[in-house]
């Protein structure tokens, strides 16, 4: 005996299986909602903790934004001086990691200054070295 399925029969089987799956999903979703009511004390406690954490993080973010937004001129002058020293050290032949350590700048910045001096340009001026 040979079993033969037509496309129509296969399509009906797939539609029925999908309908059963969707019905089952709806039933289980209702059960989950009934098991954990919205007024559950554990859920409310977790929600309060999460809200407190979000509030704390917002305050910290606001403080950091305020701090970063207000750069004092002295800090800007110090940063400028660090780059001036870095240029001087690069002219003396110092390598990038030493320059970075002495001037408090990143190794990438120091490497850029050294590379620009090797190409014959003073960083920040566009003039030949």
Where b means 16+ CB within 10 Å and e means fewer, 102-124 reads: ebebeeebbbbbbebbeeeeebe
**Low-confidence winner among 8-12, 61-65, 76-80 (lowest mean pLDDT):** 76-80
Percentage above 70 pLDDT, the chain: 80
Pairwise CA distance, residues 73 & 2, whole Å: 90
Give residue 129's pLDDT: 47
Q: For residue 122, what are the contacts with CB-CB under 8 A and spacing of at least 6?
A: 87, 116, 128, 129
Which pair of tokens denotes residue 70?
A: 């207000």
Cβ atoms of 85 and 102 closer than 8 Å: yes
Give residue 74's pLDDT: 53
pTM strictly above 0.85: no
pLDDT in tens, 78-128: 667 888 889 999 999 899 999 999 988 999 999 999 999 888 765 455 555
């Amino acid at each position: 005996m040979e079993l033969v399925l037509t496309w129509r029969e296969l399509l009906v089987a797939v539609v029925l299986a999908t309908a059963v799956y969707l019905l089952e999903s709806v039933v289980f979703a209702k059960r989950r909602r009934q098991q954990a009511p919205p007024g559950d004390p554990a859920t409310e406690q977790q929600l309060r903790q999460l809200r407190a954490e979000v509030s704390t993080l917002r305050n910290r973010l606001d403080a950091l934004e305020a701090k970063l937004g207000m750069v004092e001129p002295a800090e800007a002058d110090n940063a400028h001086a660090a780059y001036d020293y870095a240029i001087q050290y690069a002219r003396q032949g110092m390598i990038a990691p030493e320059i970075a350590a002495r001037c408090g700048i990143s190794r990438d910045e120091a490497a850029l200054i050294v590379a620009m001096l090797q190409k014959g340009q003073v960083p920040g001026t566009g003039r030949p070295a």
